Structures are given as C-alpha cells and as structure tokens.
Structure 1
Amino acid sequence: MNLSVDEAGGAPVAPRGYTADKDAYRRRLKRIEGQVRGIARMVDEDSYCIDILTQVAAVTKALHAVSIGLLEEHIGHCVVSAAAESEEAGDAKVKEALDAIARLLR
C-alpha cells in the first residue's frame, strides 16, 4: 500500500479513494472557481438577476457532481475497506457516509 503523510500529525495515512482521480477533481474545482468569479463579476456589472441565478444553478450542479463523485469514491474505497476489516469498522464508515449524504441533502 502506498502511504502518504498526514499534514496535521505527520503520521502515514493510506491513499484516499479519490487519489487516482485527484487531477480530474482539481480541474473540475478550478473550473467551478472560475464560474464563481464570473458570478461575482456579473454582480459587480449589475447583470440581470435571472442570468446570475442561472450561473449559480450551474455552479451548484457542478459542486453536486463533485460531491457525488467523492461519495462514490468513499463508498467504493473507504467503506468497502473498513467492512473487510471488521463489521464495527464497516458500520462506522456506513454511518459516516450516511451523515455526509444527509449534509448534502440539506
């Protein structure tokens, strides 16, 4: 297993489920960041409200897509690994995933 170092404590940690797709996530997030800057510019330029709301909806949808991808990676990697470790560990990771889903749906 290829371990990386935890930034907080310097302890080694296993790679995250999304590690293989990290570059794709970075590109998507950079694109979203650009969209948000564009929305701020639209507000500065007194653009039409509906046009701004359309862009906000696009950013929201893009963020949801990132969230769903990360959740899929978490379930496919972290939850499955924990379940293979022990029933208790698997249950804890399932609860963690369900809590994350609940936060996304608020």
Structure 2
Amino acid sequence: MTEAETTPPGDEAGQYWYAADKQALLGRLRRIEGQVRGLHRMVEQDTYCIDVLTQISAATRALQAVAVGLLEGHIAHCVMDAAQNGTDPSAKVKEASDAIARLVRS
C-alpha cells in the first residue's frame, strides 16, 4: 500500500475540517477523560454500583455526542467536498456508514 492509501486525506497542511473547532473538541475530550478518571476513583473507593453505572452512562453519552458531531462534520465537509470537487463521494459515504455501524454496535 502507498502512503496515500493508508493515510486519510486532510487539506494541504494535514488538517481536517474540525481544525477550527479543535480546541473545543479537545476540551470536551479532556472533560470525558476526567469523567473516566472519576469512575476509576469511584471503583477504588467502593462506590455503590448503581452510582458507578450512572456515571458510566454519562461518560458514554458524552463520547457519543462527540462521535455524532464528528460524523455530522464528515458528511457536511468531507462528503460534500468530494461531491463539489467532481470526485465520487460514495467512498466518503461508505466511511460514514461504517462508522455509524461501529457506533451502533458499541
């Protein structure tokens, strides 16, 4: 495989559509990371199981919200860019469909 086949395309600078929102995205991921560290502490402290499960649910929803935002952006930018540039967007649509399938299974 060539490097082009193994590396998803970004723009010329190697950035993706979310570059403008990168700090906000990283902030959300840091908060989720904090939630997961909190879960670890809860288990270490023998917190009641239902309370741990509630926090797992919250962390899961937060990750799903990030994933949905990335999927929306992929469709709005990557798929649309392919269509507007005269490239067949079906590969980008397939990527989105595969990602949705992975999210639904998890």
TM-score, reference length from structure 1 = 0.84
2-structure distance, mates of 1:69, 1:32: 15
Q: Which amino acid aligns with 2:75?
A: I
Q: Which amino acid aligns with 1:101?
A: I
Partner of 2:74: 74
The correspondence of residues 12-91 of structure 1 with structure 2, limited to 5 A, is 13-14=10-11, 15-88=15-88, 90-91=89-90
Q: Which amino acid aligns with 2:97?
A: L
Kindly report structure 1 stretches of 4+ aligned residues shifted beyond 2 Å.
85-88
Q: Which whole-Å deviations, capped at 9, do the CAs of 1:35-68 have from their partners, x for residues lacking one?
A: 0000000000000000000000000000000001
Q: Which amino acid aligns with 1:65?
A: A
1-structure distance, mates of 2:10, 2:21: 18
Query: What is the count of residue pairs matched by the alignment?
Result: 96
Unaligned runs of at least 5 residues, structure 2: 1-5
2-structure distance, mates of 1:36, 1:30: 10
What secondary structure sits across from 1:18 in the alignment?
helix
TM-score, reference length from structure 2 = 0.84
Aligned-residue offset at 1:20? 1.1
Unaligned runs of at least 5 residues, structure 1: 1-7
